[in-house]
Amino acid sequence: MIVGKVVGSVVATRKNEGLIGSKFMIVEPVENMSDKGRIVAVDNVGAGIGELVLVSMGSAARIGCDMANAPVDAAIVGIIDNSIGLED
């Protein structure tokens, strides 16, 4: 799991049927959380641009967003209200 900041959204009118109705957000991991750069994550918690979020990766992402049969590799599973030790 990583902590990241939502920096944008993605609109896809054509997608796998397991993803229909899903919202996609672009998340930039906070410093020292990931070396992969920005990621696209399914958002089932209603995160907005500028918010700090918890992102689950891999098979845990599918379980975390209750989409076990969908091609999901990253999912926003929480919105951070307060953090200690994270730089904005």
Q: Is residue 87 one of the residues assigned to a domain?
A: no
Residue 86 CB neighbour total at 10 angstroms: 14
Q: Is residue 68 one of the residues assigned to a domain?
A: yes
Predicted confidence at residue 87, as pLDDT, reads 59
Higher pLDDT, 84 or 71: 71
CB contact burial 51-71 (16+ within 10 A = b; e otherwise)? bbbbbbbeeebbebbebeebe
Q: Is residue 69 one of the residues assigned to a domain?
A: yes
Total structural domains within the chain: 1
Q: Is residue 31 one of the residues assigned to a domain?
A: yes
Question: Across residues 52-71, what is the average pLDDT?
Answer: 85
Q: Is residue 14 one of the residues assigned to a domain?
A: yes
CATH code (residue 59): 2.40.50.220
Is a pLDDT exceeding 80 seen at residue 52? yes
* CA 34 to chain centroid: 13
Q: Is residue 84 one of the residues assigned to a domain?
A: no
> Which residue range forms the structural domain that includes residue 39?
2-79
Look over the chain and give the mean of its residue pLDDT values, rounded to a whole number.
88
Question: Across residues 67-77, what is the average pLDDT?
Answer: 88
Predicted confidence at residue 67, as pLDDT, reads 77
Predicted confidence at residue 65, as pLDDT, reads 75
Question: Across residues 40-62, what is the average pLDDT?
Answer: 92
